[in-house]
A and B are shown apart, each in its own frame.
Chain A
Amino acid sequence: MSGQPAVRAEGISRTFGEVKALDGMDLVVQRGQVVGLLGPNGAGKTTMVRILSTLLKPTSGHAEVAGFDVVKQANQVRRMIGLTGQYAAVDEYLTGRENLRMFGDLFHLTPGYVKARSEELLTSFGLDDAADRPVRTYSGGMRRRLDLAASLIARPEILFLDEPTSGLDPRSRLGMWQVINDLVADGTTVLLTTQYLEEADQLAQDIVVIDHGHVIAHGTAEQLKDRIGGDRIEVTLHDAAAAERAARALGSVISGHPLIEDNKVSAPVSGGSMVLVGAIRALDLEQIEIIDIMLRRPTLDDVFMSLTGHLAEDETQRPEPTRRRGARRR
């Protein structure tokens, strides 16, 4: 059993009426690994997590979690997993402690264990003071932390985090990252979805980029960045005409096609920081005045742009089936 991957999915498809949310999705997550499922809205991330956590049946394909079939052995799968979705899945009227007790009881843990574990989790997640207040009175960040605590009540081996920080303010987001990193350090297998490239970069060792319901790229953040070439040079000039001239002047320095956007030119380069010197010389020779010049590693945004032809966060909403009726955003 220890040799098996934590998650193995092959050819998963799922249609909602006319809409194909997943189209032949493959995914492997090794034990102890943190995999980030990265894609724009409507790419199929949430649908994938819902299938792996037994909430949704695939239209076709096969998936195993901890060696159990997600359709035929759903209850065994549920014993092994924790799930934290985009919306805090806790009871509003119950207190934090009452929520943890309820979920522990429903996991069929012994009352003594539930009590001790709840205390542990409330303390670790900084909810001690709020433990006996109804969740209604919690802030968004507190709800998410309680939600994550509820997912951890039975010490799951595999944790699914569906956009764990969407809608959180920057401070709460950093707090969640800290908690997730601690879990990972303890050896939990984590599959997380995100549309924040920064988040995938921060948390996941392995990133699976999906679009239109299937995998379009896979690798570490570094590997993905290398795929679109190494560093890029970015020059800002006075106007678009100057940018045109600069692009021509840089011809001998850059190693690929220059991209002109208004008064900016960017292009892939090879050769480290020495190319900066060469670029400045080349521009100076043509008497082109530079406002700003820099060398940067490609971001996952660049990766996404080159893979899909559109920016991850620019994506207009596709008719992704909403996860359930009357879903409320908080």
Chain B
Amino acid sequence: MSAITVGHPVALRRPIYGWALHDGFVVARRNLIQTLRVPELLFFSLVQPVIFVLLFAYVFGGAIPIPGDGASAADAANAYRQYLMPGIFGQTVAFAAAASTVGLAEDMSRGIIDRFRALPMSPSAVLLGRTFADAVRQILVLTVLSITGLLVGWRINSGLFSAVLAYAFLLFFAYTVAWVGAWIGLSVPNPETANTAGLVWLFPFTFLSNAFVPISSMPDWLQPIAAYNPISTLVLATRELFGNPTGIQPHYWSLDHAALYTLISCAVLIGIFAPLAVRKYRNATAR
């Protein structure tokens, strides 16, 4: 039985760009293969944002006026769809966090996490791989959403470079919230709790923003909260990059420097939640 011979020297690779990234990619590849093996899950994760587009475009759309645009009712409805799509993009990529929460909680409840932890791999690789794969999945989601948007009348009114930049912003934001989701996934006791805990904070987080209604339409005390919500600045920056209507903004530093504020927020969030999540992961099975 020479085939299963053990204790012999094996061919080892040399690190090229650090093992954390290499191991992260290996785990990300595994997570993406998983996605392809459960096409039903992928399908339904695409259906939800599409339903949101149709609901807001046709049900709520006429009732939410965008200040500064549209003279007739038809113009107003069209203006709202232009306004809406970046909001839906922003909300959808934020919900990528829930996938990270559930995915990690499921991993942690299974035997495979023991094997990962008993391997001489980078301790952050499982988290890097999870967040990276969840962000990559958003490329597909954004593609489907963009096509749906084009079908209901949304248009990109800027150059190619600006549009690519807008999508890059959205994906970076997806990667950022995936870390928050990862931390939640490691903090909950089981996958069932993760299903709820992963979603519950996302509703106030995404709705207390300019994603669907202008900030100027909110009560005064709520406006600063919405203005400093990174979703608002992400959506505003995206609207500007796509050349879509932004409505009239109240004056807040975050809204005046939407792109910069979004990047700072992402850096701060990753700076907080990535180390927290890695620490939780290291201690997770030691309880």
User: Provided the pairs A159-B6, A324-B285, A325-B109 are in contact, do residues A150 and B1 lie with their beta carbons within 8 angstroms?
Assistant: no
Question: In the bound complex, how far is the Cα of B118 from the Cα of A54, in angstroms?
Answer: 7
User: Provided the pairs A98-B33, A107-B120 are in contact, do residues A89 and B111 lie with their beta carbons within 8 angstroms?
Assistant: yes
Question: In the bound complex, how far is the Cα of B114 from the Cα of A87, in angstroms?
Answer: 10
Q: Find out whether the CB atom of B109 lies under 8 angstroms from the CB atom of A326.
A: yes
B12 to chain A, nearest CB (A): 6
B173 to chain A, nearest CB (A): 27
Question: In the bound complex, how far is the Cα of B116 from the Cα of A83, in angstroms?
Answer: 11
Mask of A172-213 contacts with B, CB within 8 angstroms, 1/0:
000000010011011110000000000000000000000000
B32 to chain A, nearest CB (A): 11
**Interchain CB contact (< 8 A) of B109 among A85, A94, A179, A328:** A328
Is residue B251 within 8 Å, beta carbon to beta carbon, of the partner chain?
A: no
Q: Find out whether the CB atom of B115 lies under 8 angstroms from the CB atom of A103.
A: yes
Is residue A156 within 8 Å, beta carbon to beta carbon, of the partner chain?
A: yes
Task: Determine the chain A residues whose CB is within 8 A of the CB of B285 once the complex forms.
Answer: 55-56, 323-324
User: Provided the pairs A109-B12, A159-B6 are in contact, do residues A326 and B190 lie with their beta carbons within 8 angstroms?
Assistant: yes
Is residue A3 within 8 Å, beta carbon to beta carbon, of the partner chain?
A: no
Mask of B1-16 contacts with A, CB within 8 angstroms, 1/0:
1111111101111010
**Interchain CB contact (< 8 A) of A102 among B6, B7, B30:** B30
Q: Find out whether the CB atom of A113 lies under 8 angstroms from the CB atom of B109.
A: no
Q: Find out whether the CB atom of A55 lies under 8 angstroms from the CB atom of B118.
A: yes
Chain A facing B: main interface SS: loop
Number of interface residues of A (CB under 8 A): 60
User: Provided the pairs A94-B34, A109-B11, A156-B7 are in contact, do residues A326 and B26 lie with their beta carbons within 8 angstroms?
Assistant: no
Q: Find out whether the CB atom of B34 lies under 8 angstroms from the CB atom of A91.
A: yes
**Interchain CB contact (< 8 A) of A106 among B33, B114, B116:** B116
B190-248 CB contacts (< 8 Å) to partner A: 190-191
Task: Determine the chain A residues whose CB is within 8 A of the CB of B1 once the complex forms.
Answer: 124, 182-183, 185-186
B72-101 CB contacts (< 8 Å) to partner A: none
Question: In the bound complex, how far is the Cα of B114 from the Cα of A186, in angstroms?
Answer: 26
Q: Find out whether the CB atom of A78 lies under 8 angstroms from the CB atom of B8.
A: no
Question: Closest residue to B37 on the A side, CB-wise?
Answer: A93
Mask of B248-287 contacts with A, CB within 8 angstroms, 1/0:
0000000000000000000000000000000000001111
Q: Find out whether the CB atom of B190 lies under 8 angstroms from the CB atom of A325.
A: yes
**Interchain CB contact (< 8 A) of A57 among B6, B119, B121, B286:** B286
A325 to chain B, nearest CB (A): 5
Q: Find out whether the CB atom of A106 lies under 8 angstroms from the CB atom of B34.
A: no
Question: In the bound complex, how far is the Cα of B269 from the Cα of A13, in angstroms?
Answer: 39
User: Provided the pairs A85-B114, A325-B109 are in contact, do residues A106 and B6 lie with their beta carbons within 8 angstroms?
Assistant: no
Is residue B159 within 8 Å, beta carbon to beta carbon, of the partner chain?
A: no
Mask of A240-272 contacts with B, CB within 8 angstroms, 1/0:
000000000000000000000000000000000
Is residue A10 within 8 Å, beta carbon to beta carbon, of the partner chain?
A: no
Is residue A108 within 8 Å, beta carbon to beta carbon, of the partner chain?
A: yes
The range of chain B's interface size is 35 or more
A12 to chain B, nearest CB (A): 15
Task: Determine the chain B residues whose CB is within 8 A of the CB of A79 once the complex forms.
Answer: 120
Q: Find out whether the CB atom of B3 lies under 8 angstroms from the CB atom of A123.
A: yes
Task: Determine the chain B residues whose CB is within 8 A of the CB of A186 once the complex forms.
Answer: 1-2, 4-7
A181 to chain B, nearest CB (A): 9
Is residue A309 within 8 Å, beta carbon to beta carbon, of the partner chain?
A: no
Task: Determine the chain B residues whose CB is within 8 A of the CB of A88 once the complex forms.
Answer: 111
B286 to chain A, nearest CB (A): 6
Q: Find out whether the CB atom of B115 lies under 8 angstroms from the CB atom of A83.
A: yes
B161 to chain A, nearest CB (A): 36
Question: In the bound complex, how far is the Cα of B117 from the Cα of A187, in angstroms?
Answer: 26
Task: Determine the chain B residues whose CB is within 8 A of the CB of A110 once the complex forms.
Answer: 11-13
B172 to chain A, nearest CB (A): 27
Question: In the bound complex, how far is the Cα of B3 from the Cα of A327, in angstroms?
Answer: 33
Task: Determine the chain B residues whose CB is within 8 A of the CB of A83 once the complex forms.
Answer: 114-115, 118
Q: Find out whether the CB atom of A188 lies under 8 angstroms from the CB atom of B120.
A: no
Question: In the bound complex, how far is the Cα of B8 from the Cα of A14, in angstroms?
Answer: 33
**Interchain CB contact (< 8 A) of B112 among A89, A117, A121, A179:** A89
Question: In the bound complex, how far is the Cα of B112 from the Cα of A83, in angstroms?
Answer: 11
**Interchain CB contact (< 8 A) of B3 among A53, A92, A102, A121:** A121
Task: Determine the chain A residues whose CB is within 8 A of the CB of B56 once the complex forms.
Answer: none
Question: In the bound complex, how far is the Cα of B109 from the Cα of A289, in angstroms?
Answer: 59
Q: List 6 additional A-B contacts (Cβ < 8 Å) besides A85-B111, A121-B3.
A: A55-B285, A83-B115, A105-B23, A108-B15, A120-B3, A323-B114
